[in-house]
Amino acid sequence: MSKQILVFPGDGIGPEIVAEAVKVLEVANDKYALGFELSYDELGGAAYEKYGTPLADETLERARAADAILLGAVGGPQWDNLDRPLRPEMGLLKIRSQLGLFGNLRPALLYPQLAGASSLKPEIVAGLDILIVRELTGGIYFGSPRELRTLENGERYALDTLPYSESEIRRIAKVGFDMARLRGKKLCSVDKANVLESSRLWRAVVEEVAKDYPDVELSHMYVDNAAMQLVRAPKQFDVVVTDNMFGDILSDEASMLTGSIGMLPSASLDANNKGMYEPCHGSAPDIAGKGIANPLATILSVSMMLRYSFGQLEAADAIERAVGNVLDQGLRTGDIWSEGCQKVGTREMGDAVVAALRNL
Ligand code: NAI
Ligand code: MG
């Protein structure tokens, strides 16, 4: 049976980078007989222009019916003055929560050819390949009560709440263990169990889930130490699982170990590994329409789609190897360019990955 892939080109550089990722996806589709059928719709600013809302009801229904979603990025200054519910980013938040995409995977993989682009010494980051699994639909970003008010004595006062239920922790812990099983079989759960009740529950539930994964080596780390270890010795990690806010901070920290944001893919998964795949970066309005954006984060998001939603490991690996081969050839978009390399545009980079994939 064919698999339905819904594509949202999005705003800014979105359509440019998605066009290249789709070319790669179509070559993989042929070469590995994946049986994918692609269809297109709009999300974010482009959807506001077409439907008058950043996520139309019929678009949401199409997204529910699809087997996986590929997204460029949304947003741009032309929509900044819209009311909050009409803003492009609200379309993105709504689709994540409506589809229950609680498992956010952010790999930080350093291509050896780009070792010089990292802010850390080459020997610290050489061979780096870690995966941060961030809980995406719970915790302090969604907890209530939340308020900001002025007390009777005139002092301003604010409150946020950090709730986690056992079931929310259990399902993200399972994602962490499942991912570790597909990779290096090591999972580090990051919390603040020495201080927070939610983290004590987190740690207890992760321990319970671990009983179903005897083949995965589990460790626990406090978040402050994890932040330090990520820059001291990042290669000690394989998969890290953590809550929404800790994951937000640690994944940004980890991403910078690899050089450019133009290289970083992501996946947001539901309980059945149905997912939305998108680069970590935004719509880059400053370079939109110039044909110079790096399409590799989006191309690598396609590889994540094949790996995590469809279990097509051979095809997923092939796309990553094709990207590596193109970097070996010395081709670089501006964000990853260095002396002695050949500067190319978005389309040339996409074409080079397509050719490398065909040649594997
Ligand atoms: P951004 O990630 O779009 O850009 C930050 C910087 O990185 C810019 O200088 C940009 O040119 C550069 N950059 C980003 N992607 C690149 C690529 N593929 N190749 C080369 N250079 C690249 O972040 P910014 O400027 O803060 O946000 C711009 C818009 O994107 C805003 O409307 C924001 O809300 C939205 N945004 C959307 C996200 C999404 O769709 N998931 C995520 C982050 C921001
Ligand atoms: Mg994005």
> Does the CB atom of residue 292 touch ligand 1 within 6 A?
no
CA atoms lying within 13 Å on the CB side of residue 62: 17
Task: Check: CB of residue 68 under 8 Å from CB of residue 8.
Answer: no
pLDDT confidence tier of residue 258, bands split at 50, 70 and 90: confident
CA atoms lying within 13 Å on the CB side of residue 48: 23
Q: Does 292 count as an annotated binding residue?
A: yes
Would residue 141 show up in a list of annotated catalytic residues for this protein? yes
Residue 77 in this model has a pLDDT that exceeds 90: yes
pLDDT confidence tier of residue 284, bands split at 50, 70 and 90: very high
pLDDT confidence tier of residue 254, bands split at 50, 70 and 90: confident
Residue-averaged pLDDT of the chain: 95
Q: What is the mean pLDDT of residues 237-258?
A: 92
Mutate to test the pocket of ligand 1, among 101, 283, 292, 299 (most ligand atoms within 8 A of CB): 283
Q: What is the mean pLDDT of residues 217-245?
A: 97
Of 192, 213, 270, 335, which one is the catalytic site residue? 192
Among the bound ligands, the one closest to the CA of 21:
1
| Ligand 2 centroid, distance to 27 Cα (angstroms) | 23
pLDDT confidence tier of residue 313, bands split at 50, 70 and 90: very high
> Does the CB atom of residue 16 touch ligand 1 within 6 A?
no
Domain boundaries, the chain: 1-104+276-360
Could you tell me which residues come within 8 angstroms of residue 32 by beta carbon, excluding any fewer than 6 positions away? 312, 314, 315, 318
Residue 13 in this model has a pLDDT that exceeds 80: yes
CA atoms lying within 13 Å on the CB side of residue 216: 30
CATH class of 1-104+276-360: alpha beta
Residue 261's pLDDT is what? 85
Residue 1 in this model has a pLDDT that exceeds 80: no
Residue 117 in this model has a pLDDT that exceeds 80: no
Q: Comparing 47-61, 248-262, 313-327, which segment has the lowest mean pLDDT?
A: 248-262
Residue 7's pLDDT is what? 98
Residue 248's pLDDT is what? 87
pLDDT confidence tier of residue 15, bands split at 50, 70 and 90: very high
Would residue 317 show up in a list of annotated catalytic residues for this protein? no
Neighbours of 96 (CB within 10 A): 17
In this prediction, what percent of the chain has a pLDDT beyond 70?
A: 100
> Does the CB atom of residue 287 touch ligand 1 within 6 A?
yes
Residue 141's pLDDT is what? 84
Residue 221 in this model has a pLDDT that exceeds 80: yes
Residue 119's pLDDT is what? 80
Residue-wise pLDDT for 193-203, tens only, equals 999 999 999 99
Residue 323 in this model has a pLDDT that exceeds 80: yes
At position 330, the amino acid (one-letter code) is: G
Would residue 248 show up in a list of annotated catalytic residues for this protein? yes
In this prediction, what percent of the chain has a pLDDT beyond 90?
A: 86
pTM of the predicted model as reported, rounded to 2 decimal places: 0.90
Residue-wise pLDDT for 16-49, tens only, equals 999 999 999 999 999 999 999 999 999 999 999 9
At position 21, the amino acid (one-letter code) is: A
Could you tell me which residues come within 8 angstroms of residue 129 by beta carbon, excluding any fewer than 6 positions away? 107, 108, 109, 110, 183
Distance CA 299, CA 314 (A): 15
- The strand pair at 3-10 and 147-150 is best described as unpaired
Would residue 238 show up in a list of annotated catalytic residues for this protein? no
Of 11, 178, 248, 270, which one is the catalytic site residue? 248
Would residue 335 show up in a list of annotated catalytic residues for this protein? no
Q: Does 285 count as an annotated binding residue?
A: yes
Q: What is the mean pLDDT of residues 323-345?
A: 95
In 3D space, the residue among 48, 51, 55 whose CA is nearest the CA of residue 78 turns out to be: 48
